[in-house]
Structure 1
Amino acid sequence: MIYIGVTGWGDHDSLYATGTSSGDKLKEYAGHFPIVEVDASFYAIQPKRNVEKWVKDTPESFQFIVKAYQGMTGHQRGEIPFESKKDMFEAFRLSLQPYQQANKLAMVLFQFPPWYDCKRENVTYLRWCKEQMGDVPVALEFRHQSWFSPQLKEQTLQFMENEGWIHSICDEPQAGSGSIPTVLQPTNQKKTLVRFHGRNVHGWTKPKEGNWRDVRYLYKYNKEELREWVNHVNNLHQSSEIIYVLFNNNSGGDAAGNARQFIEMLGIEYQGLAPRQLDFFS
């Protein structure tokens, strides 16, 4: 099976009827796509009531890819409100329970920052993370090029396979050490994740002025680029039972449109989506 969606559900205005409240957007989103990435969990470990609402607002077959909390991946933006890493991981695992109880947790995504390079202490920490997550499916996405350097690429992939990490394969700008190449190799026979970040090379590095999020993911994939990925995804599907595809190129609002286009190009018709609201004047 190939599941396609986007990151977050709040900023994709093309999907929603005029006047849709923020609290109702996920319900409408689930009428278009069968999966979503929860990015709110990166900024704060979500209270149980939030997760229970999201689970309730989506159809039985809907799946969530939950982004790991920032303190777990070393981003350290602001104060981390936990006495220890172990406490942090325990709180995060508890927040996953409503997804798990509803059988709606596809995986947790650990996305490490651009400065997280390939060295022994970081490999050791990855092993520790995997141990803390127990039997929760976990995906791993790097941002530092060293993990896939010619001398370390095969070791990195073998490590991920041995430790049980799902490979998060990226399409992103090639902008030096803070970006990774597209490595089309699954590390898990059950699941593989693909994330489209766009190809805006000039916007990829943090600008000196303005909000970098306004430009970093400013990119619209054209048909030729998506057609190339139709072949890639079909090939990946031969080695991995389920492929999850997420479009993150939304600085200009292009993610949802590209995702729907990709679904059409793959000839997929999803069953069990939520009923869509009608807006006759949109």
Structure 2
Amino acid sequence: MIHIGLTGWGDHPDVYHPSSSAKEKLQDYSAHFPIVELDASFYAIQPERNIRKWIAETPETFQFVVKAYQGMTGHQRGELPYETPEEMFVQFKRSIEPLREAAKLAMILVQFPPWFDCKRENVEQLRFIRHQLEGYDVAIEFRHQSWYTEAMREKTLTFLREHHFIHSVCDEPQDGEGSVPLVAVSTRKDKVLLRIHGRNVNGWRNRTGNNEAWREVRYLYDYSHTELMEIEQAIRQLGNETEHVYVIFNNNSGGHAAENAKRLQKMMGIDFQALAPKQLDIFEEE
């Protein structure tokens, strides 16, 4: 089964009803897509009240791909606001437990930064994370090319299989060691994740030092029909290996994610069921 969604629900104007308030964005979003990547959890471990609110606002079968807190992946600058790493993981698990109880937790996405390269100490960090998140479905996403060199690719995939990690497959700009190739391989029989970041090579790296400007252009990309056909081929290949393929469009700097996701859905002849009642389908042809 193929599940298609977007990163976050707060920045996709194409899916909102004109009369909806900001508080209704998730409800509007869930009328179009059956999954979403929860990225607020990357910036701060979310209060349980937020999680329960989002559960209540979405259909029974709706699912969340929860992005791991930045302190868990090495993105955090400065000291962690927790006494120990173990306490941080405990608080994170406590935060998302309502999602698991409601059967709305698709997986935890652990996305590492570009400087997390393939070396022994980082492999040990992966083992530590697996231990801390024992019993959870955890997707691992690398951003350093060293994990996928000719010498290391099969070792990387074997390690993910042995530790029951979900492979996060990426479509992203190819710009040196700070990016990874699209390796359409699933390491589990039940779930795989495909994250689609766009192919804006010029915007991928922060060459200006201006973080705000960089965030505006990094994921600025509109996939062509031919490129979406390449994505479709990867999805079908993954579908031959695993039961559930989760596809997340993250190319939203210019608002292209929703349109690209809808176009791919139409190309593949997918009709999602059990969505929230649609107030307005802006993608229907007149």
SS in 2 for 1:211: helix
Find the partner of 2:273 among 256, 259, 271.
271
Q: How does 1:37-116 map to 2 (within 5 A)?
A: 37-116=37-116
Q: 1:250 and 2:252 equivalent? A: yes
Match of 1:137 in 2: 137
Identical positions, percent = 55
Q: CA 1:24/1:203 → structure 2, altered by over 3 Å: closer, same or farther?
A: same
Cα distance between partner residues in 1 of 2:127 and 2:269:
39
CA offsets, 1:182-231, max 9 Å, x none?
A: 11111011000000000000000014135211000010001111112212
Match of 2:159 in 1: 159
CA offsets, 1:242-276, max 9 Å, x none?
A: 00000000010000000011111110111100012
Cα distance between partner residues in 1 of 2:77 and 2:67:
15
Deviation of 1:19 after TM superposition, in Å, equals: 4.3
Q: How does 1:224-239 map to 2 (within 5 A)?
A: 224-239=226-241
Match of 1:261 in 2: 263
Match of 1:124 in 2: 124
Cα distance between partner residues in 2 of 1:279 and 1:166:
33
Stretches of structure 1 lacking an aligned partner (at least 5 in a row):
none
Contact 1:167 1:193 in 2 (8 A): yes
CA offsets, 1:98-152, max 9 Å, x none?
A: 1011100000000000000000010011011011101110000000010001111
Match of 2:194 in 1: 194
TM-score w.r.t. the length of structure 1 is 0.97
Find the partner of 2:219 among 213, 217, 220.
217
Cα distance between partner residues in 2 of 1:232 and 1:194:
9
SS in 1 for 2:143: coil
Cα distance between partner residues in 2 of 1:88 and 1:113:
19
Cα distance between partner residues in 2 of 1:207 and 1:169:
25
CA offsets, 1:31-75, max 9 Å, x none?
A: 000000000000000000000000000000001000000000001
Deviation of 1:79 after TM superposition, in Å, equals: 4.3
Contact 1:35 1:62 in 2 (8 A): yes
Contact 1:184 1:232 in 2 (8 A): yes
Deviation of 1:18 after TM superposition, in Å, equals: 2.0
Contact 1:55 1:99 in 2 (8 A): yes
TM-score w.r.t. the length of structure 2 is 0.96
Deviation of 1:24 after TM superposition, in Å, equals: 1.0
Cα distance between partner residues in 1 of 2:277 and 2:246:
22
SS in 2 for 1:212: helix
Match of 1:168 in 2: 168
Stretches of structure 2 lacking an aligned partner (at least 5 in a row):
none
Cα distance between partner residues in 2 of 1:35 and 1:77:
30
Q: CA 1:207/1:13 → structure 2, altered by over 3 Å: closer, same or farther?
A: farther
Deviation of 1:165 after TM superposition, in Å, equals: 0.6
Root-mean-square deviation (Å): 1.3
SS in 2 for 1:234: helix
